[in-house]
Amino acid sequence: MDTEIKLSGWSPALMTGKTKLQEGGSLDLTFCDLSYCVGKGKFCKKLKTILHQISGSFKSGQLTAILGPSGAGKTSLMNILAGLKKSGTQGKVYVNGAERNFKTFRKKSAYITQKDHLLRNLTVDEYIISAAHLKLGNAVSNKEKISTVELVMKTLGLTNSQHTRISRLSGGECKRLSIALELIDNPSVLFLDEPTSGLDSSSSLQCVALLREIARSGRTVIATIHQPSFRMLNHFDHLYIVASGSCIYQGTVGSLISYFKSMNLNCPSFHNPADFALDVASGEYGDVLERLVSGVENGRKVYQDTSMETTTSAVESNSQNNTGDIDADEEVSMLSGLPKKKLATGSRLMYAAPFHTQVAVLLGRTWRTIWRDKILTTMRLGVHVLVAILVGFLYWQIGDDAASIFNNVGMIFFNMLFIMAAAMMPTVLTFALDTEVLIREHLNQWYSLKAYYLARTLADIPFQIFYPVVYLVPVYLMTDQPMSLERFGLLLAMMIWLSLVGQGFGLFFGAAFDIQVASFFAPTSIVPIFLLSGFFVTFDSIPRYISWLTYFSFARYGFEGSMLSVYGYDRSPLSCSESYCHFRFPEKFLEQFDLTRSSYSWSVVGLLVNYILIRTAGYLALRFKLRHVR
């Protein structure tokens, strides 16, 4: 029955022997009368019950499959067991017989999402090494980290592709990498949401065989699974079948057919038992769910003995069987007489690595990914150069000509708009993927959101300086702005501030909304801000009851600062290419825009406040997202 799978470059011996990976404590998971309801919010007055008081027991050393039709509640159950979902839940979860402590349990478990959200521009070894630094912390020496990384790569068959960029990995390799990243700190429990989805049958089989070997090393491995093939099904030690939020079977794969038979449901010959179970769960064999649920007492019992075709009351031994061997006669400890082996509850640090290490590792990693994103980096550079040249020719040598002074202001305003948009839009578009990676890693306790956000903010700064410089130098020279290094510096500082604020807006919209909403909402909400800059309508002309709004417009500060850089500070009269120029004196021109009382320093303060506000809003949006992710 049991099929032996040959895995290229992967050594099961590493998992079965006494290895470093084996040193973590074994954790048996038992849950009792779990219910989960959703709804009853602002928009939904009715409660929808997803899980109906289900119970069950998943042991260490075993690979458990949670099976069921779509919408049965598999993912919900796993999320609750993993501690990712708390609100709307009722019932108890025990770990080694003691009631689960969320914090401690999260530290000892890892959750591998269905989609492999990975940083595509890192290589396999870079990613695993960064995970080692973050997850093992400074208490483990670098030498030990490297040997752990090598062991994990060897175990997961990733050694041959260790220098390959993740964007070039196959689906199966990506899945193995996702598992490798979480195995680094030796979690006792692994949750996997549909680990085989998107993989071909041979990769799926390899993946499940690998999971079984991981389980054999003493871990509790739980995976939701969709329509496993017969061969794949045989790799699971324990099956837990969910239908409409209730448990209709719990036991070994071998006992499944006899259980159904005992319920007068005969699986046709040559039929995959998993398919049959799914058909039954979907109601294709009539209204039998109630009977099946009571057959295993909604998961309180484990169906065990095929020859006797009976269900056995589940008691004791929950903590006794940590070897990973499946003993058919064994009774499973569940709801009564639970052993009182308690997990150490933690006053320990939430994250393995200290804050500064988290920031340093994330900074290095973010830098690499931005730098290696050649298409985006080159495109951004190219766009800045091309637009600068276009603007240079369009406004050729007008900077000192009073006859073209309004054109020059138009050019200054355009610079603001362009720098802002060029910083904002790439962030809006790329941050959606980054957020997925953040969610996965943060939920698995790699690092704090604060460390991530700080690293992200710091990593972006060089780019927000570089692009405005690349843009402004040719524009300044070609349009013949005043040849003063000081004025150039002041104008450049304004552009850099606008770029930073623009990038902050991109981050906020990327964090708060999904990509479709954000890419519409970000540019359209920036437009009214520019309307209040003082360029389209002077501050004097804005009605009093609305003029206070201009103080919230970063564009106002950008415009004031830019105008003062070019026309302020007692600039000498401009030349005039026509017989009469009304605005030869820059001071008079500033009066026209109601800018004589403006101050460059206040403009900087205004932009700084805007920068801090928008960055804080971005942080809060991300925090909200992380809390409501499931």
Ligand X SMILES: Nc1ncnc2c1ncn2[C@@H]1O[C@H](COP(=O)(O)OP(=O)(O)OP(=O)(O)O)[C@@H](O)[C@H]1O
What tokens appear for 40 in the block?
């009853």
∠ CA 222-226-227, nearest 5°, is 125
List the beta bridge partners of residue 156. Answer: none
The yes or no reply on residue 195 touching ligand X (CB under 6 A) is no
Instruction: Give the binding range for ligand X (CB under 6 A) out of 13-21, 64-72, 229-237, 475-483.
Output: 64-72
38 vs 465, beta carbon nearer ligand X: 38
Q: How far is the CB of 275 from ligand X (least distance, A)?
A: 15
Are the C-beta atoms of residues 492 and 469 closer than 8 Å to each other? yes
What residues numbered 482-541 form the site for ligand X, per CB under 6 A? Answer: none
Does residue 75 bind ligand X (CB under 6 A)?
A: yes
Among 17, 71, 337, 382, binds ligand X (CB under 6 A): 71
Please report whether residue 542 would count as binding ligand X according to CB under 6 A. no
Q: To 5 degrees, how large is the angle CA 366–CA 369–CA 375?
A: 140
Nearest residue to 101 via CA among 110, 93, 89, 112:
93
Q: Which stretch binds ligand X (CB under 6 A): 65-73, 338-346, 506-514, 588-596?
A: 65-73
Of 333, 422, 284, 299, give the one whose Cα is nearest residue 33: 299
- β-sheet bridge partners, residue 165: 123
How many helices (H) and strands (E) the chain has is answered by 21, 12
Q: Is 72 in the site for ligand X (CB under 6 A)?
A: yes
Q: Which stretch binds ligand X (CB under 6 A): 10-18, 67-75, 300-308, 423-431?
A: 67-75
CB of 499 to ligand X, least distance (A): 39
Q: Does 289 bind ligand X (CB under 6 A)?
A: no
Binding ligand X by CB under 6 A: which of 56, 73, 299, 606? 73
Residues 589, 593, 596, 601, Cα dihedral to 10°: -120
Residues in binding contact with ligand X, number by CB under 6 A? 13
Q: Which of the ranges 12-20, 70-78, 276-284, 451-459 carries the binding residues for ligand X, by CB under 6 A? A: 70-78
Piece of 2-10, 63-71, 302-310, 522-530 that binds ligand X (CB under 6 A) = 63-71
Interface segment toward ligand X; rule CB under 6 A; list 66-74, 133-141, 440-448, 588-596? 66-74
Nearer to ligand X, 34 or 131 (CB): 34
Long-range pairs for 203-208: beta carbons < 8 A, 24 or more residues apart? 203/170, 203/171, 203/172, 203/175, 204/229, 204/232, 205/3, 205/5, 205/229, 205/231, 205/232, 205/235, 206/5, 206/7, 206/10, 206/172, 207/172, 207/175, 207/176, 208/63, 208/232, 208/235, 208/236
> CB of 284: closest distance to ligand X in angstroms?
17
- Residue closer to ligand X (CB basis): 225 or 494: 225
Look up residue 315 and give its two tokens: 């008691």
**Between 51 and 353, CB nearer to ligand X:** 51
The pair of three-digit structure tokens given for residue 129, joined into one six-digit string: 């090494």
Check if the beta carbon of residue 459 is closer than 8 Å to that of residue 363.
yes
Burial (Cβ within 10 Å: 0-12, 13-18, ≥19) of residue 594 = middle
The correct pick among 12, 67, 74, 566 for binding ligand X (CB under 6 A) is: 74
179/7 Cα distance (integer angstroms)? 16
Question: Minimum CB separation from ligand X for residue 87, in Å?
Answer: 10
Near ligand X by CB under 6 A: residue from 12, 56, 68, 482: 68
**Nearest distance, CB of residue 36 and ligand X, angstroms:** 8
Q: Which is nearer to ligand X, 76 or 610 (CB)?
A: 76
- Cβ-based nearer residue to ligand X, 38 or 515: 38
The span from the CA of 565 to the CA of 327, in Å, is 81
Residues 20-59 that bind ligand X (CB under 6 A): 38, 48, 50
Task: State which of residues 70, 264, 269, 307 lies at the interface with ligand X (CB under 6 A).
Answer: 70
Cβ proximity to ligand X: between 153 and 223 the closer is 223
| Closer by beta carbon to ligand X, 89 or else 323 | 89
Please say which residue, 48 or 271, places its beta carbon nearer to ligand X. Answer: 48
**At closest approach, how far in Å is the CB of 283 from ligand X?**
15
CA distance 336 to 313: 10
94: number of CA atoms within 13 Å, CB side? Answer: 24
- Residues contacting residue 164 through CB under 8 Å, at least 6 positions apart: 123, 124
Residue 575 — φ and ψ, nearest 5°?
-80, 165
Give me the count of residues in the chain. Answer: 630
**Residues in 202-261 that interact with ligand X by CB under 6 A:** 224, 226
Q: Choose between 74 and 571: whose C-beta lies nearer to ligand X.
A: 74
Residues near ligand X (CB under 6 A) are 38, 48, 50, 68, 70-76, 224, 226
